[in-house]
Structure 1
Amino acid sequence: MQRVIYTSLLLGVTGFSCVKAQNSVSPNIILILCDDMGFSDIGCYGGEIHTPNIDRLAENGIRFSQFKNTGRSCPSRAALLTGHYQHDVGMGWMTAVDEHRPGYRGEITGKIPTIAEVMKANGYSTYMSGKWHLTLDDAFDAPNGSYPAQRGFDKYYGCLSGGGSYYTPTPVYHNLTRIKEFPDDYYYTTAITDSAVSFIRQHPVDKPMFMYVAHYAPHLPLQAPAGRVEKCRERYKVGYDVLRKQRFARLKEMGFIPEGMELPVYQKEFEGKRPAWETLTTKQQEQWITDMATYAAMVEIVDDGIGQLVETVEQKGMLDNTVFIFLSDNGATREGGYLGQLMADLSNTPYRDYKSRCLQGGTSTPFILTYGNVAKNKSKGEICRQPAHIIDVLPTCMDLASARYPKSFEEDLPGMTLLPAIGGGKIKKRELFFEHEASCAIISEHWKLVRAGRNDAWELIDLSADPFETKDLSGQYPKLARKLETRWNKWAEKYNVFPLEDKSWTVRIKYYRDLYSGKSEKTE
């Protein structure tokens, strides 16, 4: 990690304090994360969803075209909050079960500081509102040391789990107190915004603020007020084929895609039978329109909330000294069945595949960084084409704050600061690695080696000519493919990825629960 020299911090991980006092010009940082939102959903990334507030951040800041996540919620959140690869902090899979393997403990380790703990030690007030999803599901009834309020956040409101209704999410906590009753007009996205706004209003302006707003939207279930859904219906009546072409054209106009490239139509992901819009029944078309309009409404409500955050910061006189960061935890999901996959195919335009896989559709996210003081945005409105990763968020925030990392963890973080790119410079070249449910990948310069699953063949992709992963070149360059596979294996050994596991959700949970109840044999 490219950083300033570390200095001494005291008292260990959760109680360390920084020797150096913060100066008064340290910027406030508001980090906003969406859940299961595709690469091209929002307006400033080519989408037809109305996101004027997010678009305004992009217009005044910088957008990344090659920013990558881990492909799934829990791992991405772990990487975001620690600056480490997810397996390195115990979060290689989900919170559903503790597999009693170093990389798969079902919650983030207490041995590595979170971004909130680091920022707090450097003089920041720290707040979080929204989805946590980094505590074992079996630990929701009583704080076990891994709750947000126990991992560096001064104030927290939100749901610990990764699912549930937007009208009655569970378990919802305010700091360490569980909330079980909700007003009749409760809607989770609005509540997340309201809590974040409340934290800002109570924040003393003479102290720097770190705010993490982790939205649940537009994660399933598809739920939004009927009036908001109705406002979005008309734009989806043309169907997904037309909308994909329109998004692709806008991405070209914006400069995300070179002029000569054509929109790929992915057949393999549909078992070779991707349906054209006209082949759907009228009932299927109506359902897809309604579902997509609901999805769009959910994103637009998030955007409304971002507008409220910016307005509140401005009312406090803090806007000029505030940095906003926006991204998604992974690509859109096909978990909604046949029509859900056709929705995700649109959301992830122009990329292949979906959430939980390490192909581009699963791991590509919008990433926007902007200063409230527009004059500080040296790359205003520009697109950064240098590869970056969600592990880079923590070191970037640290550099923005001139913050120091605890001396007891002085080893290099795998992530690095993105500030050179934001100032018009170059990010240091490095390789990026991925694994989730035995889907694996390595990106090395313009080459990517990837496989969809444990029993799938490795594919070698030249991202400079084929960013949509349509042509496997492993047969043409077998030595390069083997070389990259060897590097991936070395990374996997170092970061506690092995042994690979690809059991289905329920089978995997039962297997490891039975295993540590003495009812099964160890996995291979």
Structure 2
Amino acid sequence: MRPEERRAPEGFGGRIAEFVSDSEPWWPDRTRARDGAPNVIVMLVDDLGFSDLGPFGSEIPTPHVDRLARDGWTFTNYRTAPMCSPARAALMTGLNPHRAGFGFVAHTDPGYPGYTCELPEDAPTLAESLRAGGYATFMVGKWHLTLESRLHDAADRSSWPLQRGFDRYFGSMDGFTSLHHPHRLVRDNSVVDRPEVPDGYFLTDELIDESLTMIDELRVNDARKPFFLYVAHTSVHGPIQAKAVDIERHRGRYEDGWNTLREARFARQLELGVIPEGATLPEPSLADAEAIPEWSTLSADDRELFARHMEVYAAAVDEVDQSLGRLTAHLEQLGELDNTIIVLASDNGGTAEGGPSGTRSYFAQFGVNAELPEGWIRDVPRDPAEIGGPRLFSQYPTGWARVSNTPFRSFKSSTYEGGVHAPLVISWPAAPERTRGLRDQFVFVSDLAPTILDLTGVPPLAERHGRPAQEPDGRSVRTVLDDPAAPGRASQYFECVGRRALVDGAWKALSPVPPAREEGAAGGRWELYHLETDPTETRDLAAEQPERVAELAERWRDEAWRNAVLPLDDDGSLHRTRPDSEAALAEPVTLVPFRPPLERFRSAQLTVLKSFRVEIDVELGASAAGVLIAHGDQGGGYLVALDGGRTRLAYNAYGDMHRAVGSALGPGPHELILRVDELDGLRWRLRLEVDGVVDAEIDAVPMLMGMAPFTGISAGYDFGGPVDWELHERHRSYRFSGGAIERICIVPGARSQHDRTVLRRIGVAVAELAD
């Protein structure tokens, strides 16, 4: 093999390497997909650390991943974006994350090209190219490539999966959801209307059920057409949940603690050859010791609690492996496994969102855009036996996240290797056995789409909607599959909330904090590591080689300009800015009873960080009972119901239940008003008035904010994960009956002084110019 390096064109993400083969490749040359083209499955796992799978040193049994690795290639030097949406955008388009519009997760649009959180109109997706090349295209699971304000039922769907190349879709459009009680599922372009979730339901299982159905229905109608299946697991993103039977298999596995487990994984990694000889585990001062208590100093109760968190995490990884096994077994039964390319990867490194002690109340700290008052409870005490089940929204402690990222430093959203160095396995059993094995070449997430297109013989679309397609940043690594000595990627920039890095050959320059505004994009404090001899970033050489640091920092700035990375979020304000078009989502809403819940983000605009009221007009019969309105789930929410003839007000404060029972209501018309008023210290007071008189009250409870309530507002029943588990055990969703709900209107009040969101006119000038 001979590498030929060339300078990337203007606007292109850095230097690249093209590879020219001196011999005939083993892969077929095709001009049409139906000429024996392989099926393609991409399985992406959310927040999975580098060491969490068997081929990368894990103690968690993953026999199906192990088989995948034996039948293919295990990449030990694969890197991805530090966050999930940017990685998914790069995977789908072959562009660098910011050029794909995703410098951040799909929640904000501050008005800059690299942060639109929408895929560019002139960037064909992998699915669009494969469909044009003759493939059936299917997706299940987490999309997270549509701005959250465009997820509601009246939204522009141009960025939804079907409009971006998929024939069929089933899953959660949002960044995560409960696996036991999904807050919202979408089939194709419509919300799934499913008032009751059956006992024993688990989302990971349904995603694979749907995958097998899509494949089978294709084969019934066309025995030869190849398919592309994108399985985007919600696991193992928080809240971390698993089935009880799977949790039980891992009971007792983690009693020795995170330090012992990390060292054991590291030893296995050296034995497997997935990290180079001479690599060392970072010392505590470099390995986030300030956020991780020493296991030996913990109380017996804390050790039991923390071990329980990891048992659930291991079960969730186990379930991902089982899902792969179900898919491969079905393909084997169909006689199609040998000619199926399977790509398994993580979207970023393991996450430290659970904090030093983990949490059983994920939403008490996740996504909060306000300074929390002193005494705020981040982990509402609850029975550890419930961790992983439907009643808890939990996340494992930082110590286990460090284990997940063994042997690297730091976590998701960091530009240290712990944030970006992830597992990647590619399998194609039809490939010659001589080509299989470990690959240590540098591969980036934007290389995956070009590689898949290259292997299938499908050309990327040259245009989309009449516009010339952008030149991809990624390049096929097909030659790396064929030749373990072939060179990989030469360089790549990284950025996440102002944290910066550039890998250039064996060198990596890294800045763990944003620069001050006056220092410029290349300014601030930089570190320097020689990854060839120090892959775990333990020896900062910046002081010894200031010239190299300056050169790489300038290179990073050049890449930032080429890739729409700027402006940096240097003061935390960038992602508090949102388009003023979202203001309309906070106008009063009149709900229709018994319909699918109002979408999560749409619902949140009515209640989060503000006072509000709910106006309910009912006509009651003698036996009237049931839920009138419910907003949220076991992670936090509120509910008004008639139960036993009396009004019932329930408030779930991230797992801490508050209830108030009011008076009996006789037959006839009644007006109920729930007033939710802000108090000092980010607290609410709830008062339920009946016919003008206060009937029930809950005083001074923590506000629900950030991404809570997570399940949207349902009228006439309590959808999905219940707000009040006691009521759910007795009545399930408790559909209102014995009367009529005449009207339910939610009226938002003034925004809290703690709401730091800034609404600005975004996109107007561009639209006017286009006209």
Q: TM-score, normalised by structure 1?
A: 0.91
Q: Could you tell me how far apart the structure 2 residues matched to 1:288 and 1:305 are? A: 26
1:160·1:170 contact (CA, 8 Å) conserved in 2?
Answer: no
Which structure shows the higher strand fraction? 2
2:480·2:488 contact (CA, 8 Å) conserved in 1?
Answer: no
Q: Could you tell me how far apart the structure 1 residues matched to 2:489 and 2:84 are? A: 26
Alignment partner of 1:450 is 2:527: no
Q: Could you tell me how far apart the structure 2 residues matched to 1:243 and 1:83 are? A: 36
- How many Å apart are 1:383 and its aligned residue? 1.1
Alignment partner of 1:481 is 2:556: no
1:201·1:316 contact (CA, 8 Å) conserved in 2?
Answer: no
Three-state SS of the structure 2 residue aligned to 1:480 is helix
- How many Å apart are 1:201 and its aligned residue? 1.6
Which structure shows the higher helix fraction? 1
Q: Which residue identity lines up with residue 495 of structure 2 in the other structure? A: E
Q: Could you tell me how far apart the structure 2 residues matched to 1:387 and 1:93 are? A: 23
1:34·1:214 contact (CA, 8 Å) conserved in 2?
Answer: yes
Deviation string, structure 1 residues 479-515 (Cα, Å, up to 9, x no partner): 11111111110110011110001555xx655433569
Q: Could you tell me how far apart the structure 2 residues matched to 1:30 and 1:268 are? A: 38
Alignment partner of 1:128 is 2:184: no
Instruction: Determine which of 286, 290, 300 is the counterpart of 2:304.
Output: 286
Alignment partner of 1:372 is 2:372: no
- How many Å apart are 1:428 and its aligned residue? 4.8
Deviation string, structure 1 residues 14-69 (Cα, Å, up to 9, x no partner): xxxxx953342111111110000000011111001111001110012110110000
1:461·1:471 contact (CA, 8 Å) conserved in 2?
Answer: yes
Alignment partner of 1:345 is 2:402: yes
- How many Å apart are 1:522 and its aligned residue? 10
Three-state SS of the structure 2 residue aligned to 1:442 is strand
Instruction: Determine which of 254, 258, 278 is the counterpart of 1:240.
Output: 258
Q: What does 1:178-197 correspond to in 2, within 5 Å?
A: 178-181=191-194, 182-197=197-212
Alignment partner of 1:393 is 2:448: yes
Higher mean C-alpha displacement, 108-117 vs 31-40: 108-117
Alignment partner of 1:322 is 2:340: yes
1:68·1:387 contact (CA, 8 Å) conserved in 2?
Answer: yes
Q: What does 1:178-217 correspond to in 2, within 5 Å?
A: 178-181=191-194, 182-204=197-219, 205-217=223-235
Q: Could you tell me how far apart the structure 2 residues matched to 1:34 and 1:520 are? A: 34
Instruction: Determine which of 421, 427, 442 is the counterpart of 2:487.
Output: 427
Three-state SS of the structure 1 residue aligned to 2:40 is strand
Higher mean C-alpha displacement, 224-233 vs 80-89: 224-233
Instruction: Determine which of 145, 148, 164 is the counterpart of 1:137.
Output: 148
Corresponding residue number in structure 2 for 1:16? none
Q: What does 1:243-262 correspond to in 2, within 5 Å?
A: 243-262=261-280
Q: Which residue identity lines up with residue 177 of structure 2 in the other structure? A: G
Deviation string, structure 1 residues 69-127 (Cα, Å, up to 9, x no partner): 00111000000000001111211112112212111112222221110001111111111
Question: How many aligned residue pairs are there?
Answer: 505
Q: What does 1:74-113 correspond to in 2, within 5 Å?
A: 74-113=85-124
Higher mean C-alpha displacement, 416-425 vs 119-128: 416-425
- How many Å apart are 1:269 and its aligned residue? 5.4
Instruction: Determine which of 132, 137, 160 is the counterpart of 2:173.
Output: 160
- How many Å apart are 1:433 and its aligned residue? 1.1
Three-state SS of the structure 2 residue aligned to 1:314 is helix
Q: Could you tell me how far apart the structure 1 residues matched to 2:758 and 2:64 are? A: 53
Q: Could you tell me how far apart the structure 1 residues matched to 2:19 and 2:458 are? A: 9
Corresponding residue number in structure 1 for 2:163? 150
1:161·1:170 contact (CA, 8 Å) conserved in 2?
Answer: no
Q: What does 1:263-274 correspond to in 2, within 5 Å?
A: 263-268=281-286, 270=288, 272=290, 274=292
- How many Å apart are 1:257 and its aligned residue? 2.6
Corresponding residue number in structure 1 for 2:459? 404
What are the ranges of 5 or more consecutive residues in structure 2 without an aligned counterpart? 1-15, 21-29, 358-396, 516-523, 584-756, 763-771
User: For the structure 1 residues 101 and 377, does the alpha-carbon distance in structure 2 shift closer, same or farther, using more than 3 Å as the test?
Assistant: farther
Deviation string, structure 1 residues 447-495 (Cα, Å, up to 9, x no partner): 0011112046211110011111111111111111111111110110011
Alignment partner of 1:177 is 2:236: no
Percent pairwise identity: 35
Three-state SS of the structure 1 residue aligned to 2:338 is helix
Deviation string, structure 1 residues 273-318 (Cα, Å, up to 9, x no partner): 7432111121221111110000010111111110010011111121
What are the ranges of 5 or more consecutive residues in structure 1 without an aligned counterpart? 5-18
Greater relative contact order (Cα < 8 A, sep 6+): 1
1:140·1:171 contact (CA, 8 Å) conserved in 2?
Answer: no
User: For the structure 1 residues 249 and 457, does the alpha-carbon distance in structure 2 shift closer, same or farther, using more than 3 Å as the test?
Assistant: same
2:279·2:533 contact (CA, 8 Å) conserved in 1?
Answer: no
Q: Which residue identity lines up with residue 493 of structure 2 in the other structure? A: F
User: For the structure 1 residues 66 and 288, does the alpha-carbon distance in structure 2 shift closer, same or farther, using more than 3 Å as the test?
Assistant: same
